[in-house]
Structure 1
Amino acid sequence: MLILLLGIVFLHVADLVLLFVSTIVSAWTTGSTSSSDLWTNCTRSHDGLLCEPASAGEWIQAVQALMILSIIFGIISLVLFFCQLFTLEKGGRFFLTGIFQILASLFVLSGTVIYTVMSPQWVPKTEAFGWAYILAWVAFPLALISGLIYVILRKRE
Protein backbone atom coordinates (compact mmCIF):
# COMPACT_ATOMS: atom_id res chain seq x y z
CA MET A 1 0.00 0.00 0.00
CA LEU A 2 2.88 2.35 0.80
CA ILE A 3 4.34 1.88 -2.69
CA LEU A 4 0.94 2.68 -4.23
CA LEU A 5 0.64 5.87 -2.17
CA LEU A 6 4.18 6.93 -3.09
CA GLY A 7 3.41 6.30 -6.76
CA ILE A 8 0.26 8.39 -6.61
CA VAL A 9 2.08 11.23 -4.84
CA PHE A 10 4.90 11.03 -7.39
CA LEU A 11 2.40 11.22 -10.26
CA HIS A 12 0.68 14.19 -8.64
CA VAL A 13 3.94 16.06 -8.00
CA ALA A 14 5.15 15.32 -11.55
CA ASP A 15 1.91 16.79 -12.88
CA LEU A 16 2.35 19.91 -10.73
CA VAL A 17 5.92 20.36 -11.97
CA LEU A 18 4.74 20.08 -15.58
CA LEU A 19 2.03 22.66 -14.92
CA PHE A 20 4.47 25.08 -13.27
CA VAL A 21 7.03 24.77 -16.06
CA SER A 22 4.54 25.02 -18.88
CA THR A 23 2.91 28.09 -17.34
CA ILE A 24 6.13 29.96 -16.60
CA VAL A 25 8.44 29.15 -19.54
CA SER A 26 8.45 31.25 -22.70
CA ALA A 27 8.13 28.45 -25.21
CA TRP A 28 4.47 27.94 -26.03
CA THR A 29 5.25 28.89 -29.61
CA THR A 30 8.73 29.26 -31.04
CA GLY A 31 10.22 30.42 -34.30
CA SER A 32 13.61 31.34 -35.65
CA THR A 33 13.26 34.99 -34.62
CA SER A 34 10.51 34.96 -32.01
CA SER A 35 8.94 33.12 -29.11
CA SER A 36 5.62 33.51 -27.34
CA ASP A 37 4.11 32.28 -24.15
CA LEU A 38 1.19 33.14 -21.90
CA TRP A 39 2.80 36.35 -20.67
CA THR A 40 4.92 37.86 -23.49
CA ASN A 41 5.43 37.85 -27.23
CA CYS A 42 9.16 38.36 -27.95
CA THR A 43 10.84 39.09 -31.28
CA ARG A 44 14.58 39.18 -32.01
CA SER A 45 15.83 41.87 -34.32
CA HIS A 46 19.12 43.60 -35.06
CA ASP A 47 18.28 46.06 -32.24
CA GLY A 48 17.91 43.30 -29.67
CA LEU A 49 15.00 41.48 -28.09
CA LEU A 50 11.63 43.24 -28.19
CA CYS A 51 9.02 41.79 -25.84
CA GLU A 52 5.40 42.87 -25.74
CA PRO A 53 3.08 41.96 -22.88
CA ALA A 54 0.33 39.44 -23.57
CA SER A 55 -2.49 41.91 -23.78
CA ALA A 56 -3.72 40.82 -27.19
CA GLY A 57 -7.18 40.04 -25.93
CA GLU A 58 -9.39 38.41 -23.39
CA TRP A 59 -8.59 34.94 -24.66
CA ILE A 60 -4.94 35.05 -23.50
CA GLN A 61 -6.09 36.30 -20.10
CA ALA A 62 -8.52 33.39 -19.95
CA VAL A 63 -5.69 30.96 -20.74
CA GLN A 64 -3.51 32.59 -18.07
CA ALA A 65 -6.30 32.31 -15.51
CA LEU A 66 -7.10 28.70 -16.40
CA MET A 67 -3.46 27.61 -16.14
CA ILE A 68 -3.06 29.37 -12.78
CA LEU A 69 -6.31 27.82 -11.56
CA SER A 70 -5.07 24.39 -12.60
CA ILE A 71 -1.93 24.89 -10.50
CA ILE A 72 -3.94 26.14 -7.53
CA PHE A 73 -6.43 23.26 -7.73
CA GLY A 74 -3.57 20.78 -8.11
CA ILE A 75 -1.90 22.11 -4.97
CA ILE A 76 -5.19 22.10 -3.07
CA SER A 77 -5.75 18.54 -4.22
CA LEU A 78 -2.33 17.45 -2.92
CA VAL A 79 -2.94 19.14 0.45
CA LEU A 80 -6.39 17.55 0.67
CA PHE A 81 -4.89 14.14 -0.09
CA PHE A 82 -2.49 14.40 2.83
CA CYS A 83 -5.25 15.71 5.10
CA GLN A 84 -7.61 12.92 4.08
CA LEU A 85 -4.83 10.37 4.40
CA PHE A 86 -4.67 11.05 8.14
CA THR A 87 -8.30 11.92 8.88
CA LEU A 88 -10.37 9.70 6.58
CA GLU A 89 -11.88 6.60 8.17
CA LYS A 90 -10.83 3.15 7.00
CA GLY A 91 -12.53 2.17 3.74
CA GLY A 92 -13.28 5.77 2.76
CA ARG A 93 -12.58 7.14 -0.68
CA PHE A 94 -10.62 10.25 -1.58
CA PHE A 95 -13.54 11.85 -3.45
CA LEU A 96 -12.75 15.47 -2.59
CA THR A 97 -9.11 15.07 -3.60
CA GLY A 98 -10.12 13.42 -6.85
CA ILE A 99 -12.68 16.10 -7.70
CA PHE A 100 -10.14 18.89 -7.23
CA GLN A 101 -7.57 17.05 -9.36
CA ILE A 102 -10.10 16.35 -12.12
CA LEU A 103 -11.08 20.03 -12.08
CA ALA A 104 -7.38 20.93 -12.40
CA SER A 105 -7.14 18.67 -15.46
CA LEU A 106 -10.22 20.27 -17.01
CA PHE A 107 -8.72 23.74 -16.48
CA VAL A 108 -5.54 22.65 -18.27
CA LEU A 109 -7.59 21.17 -21.10
CA SER A 110 -9.66 24.33 -21.47
CA GLY A 111 -6.59 26.59 -21.41
CA THR A 112 -4.66 24.61 -24.00
CA VAL A 113 -7.67 24.30 -26.30
CA ILE A 114 -8.29 28.05 -26.14
CA TYR A 115 -4.60 28.72 -26.87
CA THR A 116 -4.65 26.27 -29.78
CA VAL A 117 -7.68 27.88 -31.37
CA MET A 118 -6.87 31.54 -30.71
CA SER A 119 -3.05 31.74 -30.96
CA PRO A 120 -2.96 32.23 -34.77
CA GLN A 121 -4.44 35.70 -34.17
CA TRP A 122 -1.57 36.70 -31.87
CA VAL A 123 1.40 34.58 -32.94
CA PRO A 124 3.11 34.89 -36.37
CA LYS A 125 2.34 32.07 -38.78
CA THR A 126 6.04 31.17 -39.05
CA GLU A 127 6.09 29.92 -35.47
CA ALA A 128 5.38 26.37 -34.33
CA PHE A 129 4.04 25.17 -31.02
CA GLY A 130 6.85 24.85 -28.48
CA TRP A 131 7.79 22.37 -25.82
CA ALA A 132 6.03 24.22 -22.97
CA TYR A 133 2.77 23.95 -24.91
CA ILE A 134 3.38 20.21 -25.29
CA LEU A 135 4.09 19.93 -21.55
CA ALA A 136 0.70 21.49 -20.86
CA TRP A 137 -0.94 18.85 -23.06
CA VAL A 138 1.01 16.11 -21.25
CA ALA A 139 -0.08 17.53 -17.88
CA PHE A 140 -3.75 17.17 -18.81
CA PRO A 141 -3.93 13.34 -18.98
CA LEU A 142 -1.60 12.99 -15.98
CA ALA A 143 -3.89 15.18 -13.88
CA LEU A 144 -6.98 13.36 -15.14
CA ILE A 145 -5.48 9.94 -14.44
CA SER A 146 -4.35 10.91 -10.95
CA GLY A 147 -7.78 12.41 -10.26
CA LEU A 148 -9.49 9.20 -11.33
CA ILE A 149 -7.08 7.17 -9.20
CA TYR A 150 -7.96 9.32 -6.21
CA VAL A 151 -11.69 8.75 -6.79
CA ILE A 152 -11.18 4.98 -7.05
CA LEU A 153 -8.67 4.71 -4.18
CA ARG A 154 -9.91 3.48 -0.80
CA LYS A 155 -8.09 4.08 2.44
CA ARG A 156 -6.67 0.94 4.01
CA GLU A 157 -4.71 0.41 7.19
Structure 2
Amino acid sequence: MVLLLIFLVVLHLITLAMLLISTLEKSWWVWADSEITDLWYNCFHDNASSTWLCAATNESDWLQSVQALMVLSVVFSSISFLVFLVQLLTLTKGGLFYFTGFCQAFAGFTDFAACLIFTFHRKEILSDSRDLNKGHFGYCFILAWMCVPLLLVSGVLYVHLRKKQ
Protein backbone atom coordinates (compact mmCIF):
# COMPACT_ATOMS: atom_id res chain seq x y z
CA MET A 1 0.00 0.00 0.00
CA VAL A 2 2.89 2.34 0.71
CA LEU A 3 4.23 1.76 -2.79
CA LEU A 4 0.84 2.67 -4.27
CA LEU A 5 0.80 5.84 -2.19
CA ILE A 6 4.31 6.80 -3.33
CA PHE A 7 3.39 5.99 -6.95
CA LEU A 8 0.30 8.19 -6.76
CA VAL A 9 2.20 11.12 -5.28
CA VAL A 10 4.92 10.88 -7.94
CA LEU A 11 2.30 10.52 -10.71
CA HIS A 12 0.42 13.52 -9.38
CA LEU A 13 3.53 15.70 -9.24
CA ILE A 14 4.60 14.63 -12.73
CA THR A 15 1.19 15.43 -14.22
CA LEU A 16 1.09 18.76 -12.38
CA ALA A 17 4.51 19.66 -13.79
CA MET A 18 3.42 18.61 -17.28
CA LEU A 19 0.27 20.73 -16.98
CA LEU A 20 2.27 23.77 -15.89
CA ILE A 21 4.73 23.34 -18.75
CA SER A 22 2.00 22.85 -21.34
CA THR A 23 0.10 25.90 -20.08
CA LEU A 24 3.02 28.31 -19.78
CA GLU A 25 5.56 27.30 -22.42
CA LYS A 26 5.71 28.62 -25.99
CA SER A 27 4.96 25.71 -28.29
CA TRP A 28 1.34 24.85 -28.98
CA TRP A 29 1.71 25.50 -32.71
CA VAL A 30 4.98 25.65 -34.66
CA TRP A 31 5.00 27.40 -38.02
CA ALA A 32 8.69 26.92 -38.68
CA ASP A 33 11.80 26.61 -36.57
CA SER A 34 11.75 30.37 -36.10
CA GLU A 35 8.02 30.94 -35.42
CA ILE A 36 5.92 29.51 -32.62
CA THR A 37 2.52 30.22 -31.10
CA ASP A 38 1.26 29.33 -27.65
CA LEU A 39 -1.82 30.18 -25.62
CA TRP A 40 -0.51 33.62 -24.72
CA TYR A 41 2.02 34.82 -27.34
CA ASN A 42 3.15 34.63 -30.95
CA CYS A 43 6.94 34.52 -31.04
CA PHE A 44 9.50 35.00 -33.80
CA HIS A 45 13.19 34.22 -33.52
CA ASP A 46 15.36 37.16 -34.53
CA ASN A 47 18.58 35.77 -35.99
CA ALA A 48 20.38 39.12 -35.76
CA SER A 49 20.05 39.38 -31.99
CA SER A 50 19.44 35.65 -31.30
CA THR A 51 16.38 36.43 -29.18
CA TRP A 52 12.70 35.60 -29.30
CA LEU A 53 10.43 38.55 -30.09
CA CYS A 54 6.96 37.92 -28.73
CA ALA A 55 3.64 39.72 -29.16
CA ALA A 56 0.31 38.98 -27.53
CA THR A 57 -1.95 36.62 -29.45
CA ASN A 58 -5.09 37.79 -31.18
CA GLU A 59 -7.88 37.23 -28.69
CA SER A 60 -10.73 35.02 -29.81
CA ASP A 61 -13.47 33.31 -27.86
CA TRP A 62 -12.00 29.90 -28.63
CA LEU A 63 -8.54 30.91 -27.45
CA GLN A 64 -9.94 32.35 -24.24
CA SER A 65 -11.80 29.09 -23.67
CA VAL A 66 -8.61 27.07 -24.07
CA GLN A 67 -6.70 29.44 -21.79
CA ALA A 68 -9.38 29.28 -19.09
CA LEU A 69 -9.68 25.50 -19.27
CA MET A 70 -5.92 24.96 -19.04
CA VAL A 71 -5.65 27.31 -16.06
CA LEU A 72 -8.61 25.53 -14.43
CA SER A 73 -6.91 22.21 -15.00
CA VAL A 74 -3.77 23.42 -13.23
CA VAL A 75 -5.83 24.89 -10.39
CA PHE A 76 -7.90 21.74 -9.85
CA SER A 77 -4.84 19.50 -9.96
CA SER A 78 -3.09 21.75 -7.41
CA ILE A 79 -6.16 21.78 -5.16
CA SER A 80 -6.37 18.03 -5.49
CA PHE A 81 -2.79 17.61 -4.31
CA LEU A 82 -3.23 19.97 -1.36
CA VAL A 83 -6.48 18.29 -0.33
CA PHE A 84 -4.77 14.90 -0.58
CA LEU A 85 -2.04 16.04 1.81
CA VAL A 86 -4.66 17.35 4.26
CA GLN A 87 -6.69 14.16 3.97
CA LEU A 88 -3.61 12.07 4.71
CA LEU A 89 -3.42 13.75 8.10
CA THR A 90 -7.10 14.14 8.97
CA LEU A 91 -8.96 11.28 7.27
CA THR A 92 -10.12 8.48 9.56
CA LYS A 93 -8.84 4.94 9.11
CA GLY A 94 -10.59 3.24 6.21
CA GLY A 95 -11.69 6.53 4.62
CA LEU A 96 -11.58 7.04 0.89
CA PHE A 97 -10.05 10.00 -0.94
CA TYR A 98 -13.20 10.91 -2.88
CA PHE A 99 -12.73 14.68 -3.05
CA THR A 100 -9.10 14.32 -4.15
CA GLY A 101 -10.07 11.88 -6.87
CA PHE A 102 -12.94 13.99 -8.15
CA CYS A 103 -10.77 17.12 -8.28
CA GLN A 104 -8.08 15.22 -10.19
CA ALA A 105 -10.62 13.73 -12.60
CA PHE A 106 -12.16 17.18 -13.14
CA ALA A 107 -8.67 18.51 -13.95
CA GLY A 108 -8.41 15.74 -16.55
CA PHE A 109 -11.77 16.64 -18.09
CA THR A 110 -10.91 20.35 -18.31
CA ASP A 111 -7.56 19.51 -19.91
CA PHE A 112 -9.35 17.20 -22.34
CA ALA A 113 -11.84 19.93 -23.27
CA ALA A 114 -9.03 22.46 -23.85
CA CYS A 115 -7.14 20.05 -26.10
CA LEU A 116 -10.27 19.22 -28.08
CA ILE A 117 -11.13 22.88 -28.59
CA PHE A 118 -7.60 23.67 -29.78
CA THR A 119 -7.59 20.64 -32.07
CA PHE A 120 -10.88 21.39 -33.80
CA HIS A 121 -10.79 25.21 -33.76
CA ARG A 122 -7.12 25.93 -34.39
CA LYS A 123 -7.99 27.80 -37.59
CA GLU A 124 -10.06 30.32 -35.60
CA ILE A 125 -7.60 30.40 -32.72
CA LEU A 126 -4.52 31.00 -34.84
CA SER A 127 -6.45 33.37 -37.17
CA ASP A 128 -3.47 33.86 -39.40
CA SER A 129 -3.42 34.39 -43.13
CA ARG A 130 -0.85 31.61 -43.46
CA ASP A 131 -1.69 28.07 -44.46
CA LEU A 132 -2.06 25.74 -41.47
CA ASN A 133 -0.51 22.93 -43.52
CA LYS A 134 2.84 24.70 -43.16
CA GLY A 135 2.75 24.28 -39.40
CA HIS A 136 2.34 21.50 -36.87
CA PHE A 137 1.41 20.96 -33.24
CA GLY A 138 4.14 21.75 -30.74
CA TYR A 139 5.39 19.76 -27.78
CA CYS A 140 3.23 21.66 -25.26
CA PHE A 141 0.08 20.58 -27.08
CA ILE A 142 1.33 16.98 -27.02
CA LEU A 143 2.14 17.27 -23.31
CA ALA A 144 -1.38 18.54 -22.65
CA TRP A 145 -2.83 15.52 -24.47
CA MET A 146 -0.54 13.17 -22.52
CA CYS A 147 -1.84 14.64 -19.26
CA VAL A 148 -5.44 13.68 -20.01
CA PRO A 149 -5.16 9.91 -19.39
CA LEU A 150 -2.68 10.40 -16.56
CA LEU A 151 -5.03 12.77 -14.73
CA LEU A 152 -8.04 10.53 -15.24
CA VAL A 153 -6.20 7.39 -14.13
CA SER A 154 -4.81 9.09 -11.04
CA GLY A 155 -8.30 10.42 -10.26
CA VAL A 156 -9.74 6.91 -10.40
CA LEU A 157 -6.87 5.56 -8.27
CA TYR A 158 -7.47 8.26 -5.65
CA VAL A 159 -11.16 7.36 -5.46
CA HIS A 160 -10.25 3.71 -4.78
CA LEU A 161 -7.41 4.48 -2.38
CA ARG A 162 -8.30 3.71 1.23
CA LYS A 163 -6.41 5.18 4.18
CA LYS A 164 -4.71 2.62 6.41
CA GLN A 165 -2.69 3.15 9.55
Q: Report the equivalent of 1:9.
A: 9
1:153 aligns with 2:161: yes
Question: Shift of the alpha carbon at 1:120?
Answer: 2.0
Matched, 1:76 2:84: no
Q: Which residue pairs with 1:65 in the alignment?
A: 68
Instruction: Determine if contact 1:81/1:97 at 8 Å carries over to the other structure.
Output: yes
Cα shift readout 1:61-113 (whole Å, capped 9, x = no counterpart)? 11111111111100100011111111111111100000100110011001111
Deviation at 1:117, TM superposition (A): 1.2
Query: How many residue pairs end up in the alignment?
Result: 157
> TM-score, normalising length from structure 1?
0.92
Structure 2 partner of 1:137? 145
**Match for 1:97: what amino acid?**
T
Which stretches in structure 1 are left out of the alignment for 5+ residues? none
Instruction: For structure 2, list consecutive stretches of 5 or more residues without a partner in the other structure.
Output: none
Query: Following TM superposition, by how much is the alpha carbon of 1:47 offset from its aligned partner in structure 2, in angstroms?
Result: 8.1
Structure 1 residues 120 and 45, CA gap change in structure 2 (3 angstroms) = farther
Give the aligned CA root-mean-square deviation in angstroms: 1.8
Query: Is 1:36 the equivalent of 2:44?
Result: no
> Which runs of 4 or more aligned residues in structure 1 lie more than 6 Å from their structure 2 counterparts after TM superposition?
45-48
TM-score (norm 2): 0.88
Q: Within 5 A, what are the aligned runs for 1:34-113?
A: 34-44=35-45, 51-113=54-116
Q: Is the partner of 1:62 in helix, strand or coil?
A: helix
Shift of 1:43: 3.7
